[in-house]
Structure 1
Amino acid sequence: MTDFIKLAVLFCLFCPNLFAQRIQPDSLEQNIDSEFNYKKLIIPTALISYGFIGLESEGIKRFNMQMRSEMNAIRKRGTYIDDYTQYVPMVSVYALNAIGVKGKSNFKDRTIALGTAYVIMGATVQGLKRLTAIQRPDGTAYNAFPSGHTATAFMAAEFLNQEFKEVSIWYGISGYVVAASTGFLRMYNNRHWFTDVVTGAGIGILSTKLAYKIAPFVKKMVFGDKDFFRGIKIDFHGGETFGVVLSASF
């Protein structure tokens, strides 16, 4: 099992370069569609809906138990690799850029989008954990629903996909392979039910898609008018006295 995940991680980092064509980065404003395509929300919405239905559906609860039994049957020992694989797709974005493969956004813009996605995802996951209080399969706590590791992994996979889908489709595919492996390992380690993982995946994907839509507004609120920052000047004066003069043009 561990060897499979290692291969998935290596695939995520390096295989897409065989198919990639480099492009120049653009700003968030240039890369976000003026009209939001609601069809892109169908899959994550369906995943989240399945999880919520599973909170009450006896049939889905039985399926959860069946999945747990199958995982218990194949598990020899637990692994902590899912604590790291959840971050692989997002780290890959910066690693690929560092070696010269350009995504659609520059460093500042993609970091704003990622930070926005993380806030949306984190707040949603933690809020639902407190609200639902579902017991984990291993009985250790009442915060199973949804899976935070899985949500992080799929948020990161969609982040990788958003940045490099115009370069090569294989970047997004490899990111989702790693994300799916993370979700599988959460069940394999007896930490989450199937519905926890499915819902986490939906939340992760949806968080990133929404983040790229609202990131330009976040950027404007946080950083304001670029011209203002360009007008700031800092002058150093030496001699008998030393001072710093800060001036700004409005």
Structure 2
Amino acid sequence: MAQTIDKTDSIASLKVKNNYQIQFKAKQLIIPVALIGYGIIGIGSDQLEAFNFEIREEVKENIDRKLSIDDFSQYAPVASVYALGVLGIKGKNNIRDKTIIVATSYLIMGLTVNSLKKITKVERPDGSGLNSFPSGHTATAFMGAELLYQEYKDVSIWYGISGYVVATGTGVFRMYNNRHWFTDVVAGAGIGILSAKAGYWLYPTINKLLSSKKNTNKKSTFIPYYDGKQVGFGLVTVF
């Protein structure tokens, strides 16, 4: 007896696979909000500020010279999201959807970090400026780590773990180089994780805005940018 295949069901299944997203659940907020909350509370807490100084003194005793590895390692996790795809390892989303999610996450993270820096005006440990809180390098690294985890956790959990190891190392080096306090790094980690999750939560809405029913051949892609002071994105449309 011949078996019939419902093409509609097949197409629907394909769409579900290519449009992977994280469903919002309140419990997903616990860890990032706790990290951000710790950092914010630390700004006005004498006890946590004292803890910041203790950690800095411990680090300073072991510093031989500054290492700028954190300037590069912050981008390693998000770069890996694309690099694994180039190597033929398929993640949850195709490159277009992946880019929309990455760009959305990057925009949320950048705006949040820069807004808090201007509002809080916390002095850096090395006295170089009043923009210590939160750590942008750490936020970028943890955002990439969460994106890497979500995209490839079903292929191998080790991709996500490696991303978080690199992100944690980035935060440690920010303190090692006397550029950030412990509370800056903790808050940056929380912001990065939450921004990545928000990128997935907002994807369906943004995808609808970018899709055009009138022109099915039109494809749009976000291209994010961040120059250390400003964050933004460009929209590239191909007809």
Query: Normalization by structure 1: what TM-score?
Result: 0.79
* Match status 1:75 vs 2:66: no
Give the 3-state SS of the residue equivalent to 1:55 in structure 2: helix
Which residue of structure 2 lines up, in the alignment, with residue 11 of structure 1?
none
Distance change in 2, residues 1:46/1:70 (3 Å): same
Residue 166 (structure 1) shift: 1.2
Aligned length: 206
Distance change in 2, residues 1:51/1:231 (3 Å): closer
- What amino acid maps onto 2:67 in structure 1? T
- Does the CA contact (< 8 Å) of 1:49 and 1:199 recur in 2? yes
Which residue of structure 1 lines up, in the alignment, with residue 40 of structure 2?
52
* Match status 1:62 vs 2:53: no
Which residue of structure 2 lines up, in the alignment, with residue 214 of structure 1?
202
Which residue of structure 1 lines up, in the alignment, with residue 17 of structure 2?
26
Residue 231 (structure 1) shift: 8.4
Q: Give matches, 1:1-12, under 5 Å.
A: none
Runs in 1 of length 4+ with deviation above 6 angstroms? none
Q: Deviations over 1:167-192 (max 9, x none)?
A: 11111110000000000000000000
Which residue of structure 1 lines up, in the alignment, with residue 145 of structure 2?
157
- What amino acid maps onto 2:26 in structure 1? Y
Match for 2:27 among 12, 23, 39? Answer: 39
- What amino acid maps onto 1:116 in structure 2? T
Residue 83 (structure 1) shift: 0.4
CA distance in 2: counterparts of 1:93 and 1:140, whole angstroms: 33
- Does the CA contact (< 8 Å) of 2:132 and 2:181 recur in 1? yes
Give the 3-state SS of the residue equivalent to 1:36 in structure 2: coil
Q: Runs of 5+ in structure 1 lacking a partner?
A: 1-24, 233-247
Q: Deviations over 1:185-234 (max 9, x none)?
A: 0000000000000000000000000110101211221x2225623389xx
CA distance in 1: counterparts of 2:152 and 2:98, whole angstroms: 11
Which residue of structure 2 lines up, in the alignment, with residue 194 of structure 1?
182
- What amino acid maps onto 1:74 in structure 2? N
Which residue of structure 2 lines up, in the alignment, with residue 175 of structure 1?
163
CA distance in 1: counterparts of 2:191 and 2:211, whole angstroms: 29
CA distance in 1: counterparts of 2:131 and 2:36, whole angstroms: 17
Which residue of structure 2 lines up, in the alignment, with residue 103 of structure 1?
91
CA distance in 2: counterparts of 1:231 and 1:134, whole angstroms: 46
- Does the CA contact (< 8 Å) of 2:21 and 2:203 recur in 1? no
* Match status 1:148 vs 2:139: no
- Does the CA contact (< 8 Å) of 1:26 and 1:106 recur in 2? no
Query: Percent same amino acid at aligned positions?
Result: 54
- Does the CA contact (< 8 Å) of 1:51 and 1:196 recur in 2? yes
Distance change in 2, residues 1:57/1:163 (3 Å): same
Residue 26 (structure 1) shift: 3.0
Distance change in 2, residues 1:190/1:113 (3 Å): same
Give the 3-state SS of the residue equivalent to 1:228 in structure 2: coil
Query: Normalization by structure 2: what TM-score?
Result: 0.82
Match for 2:217 among 211, 219, 230? Answer: 230
CA distance in 1: counterparts of 2:37 and 2:190, whole angstroms: 9
CA distance in 1: counterparts of 2:125 and 2:32, whole angstroms: 24
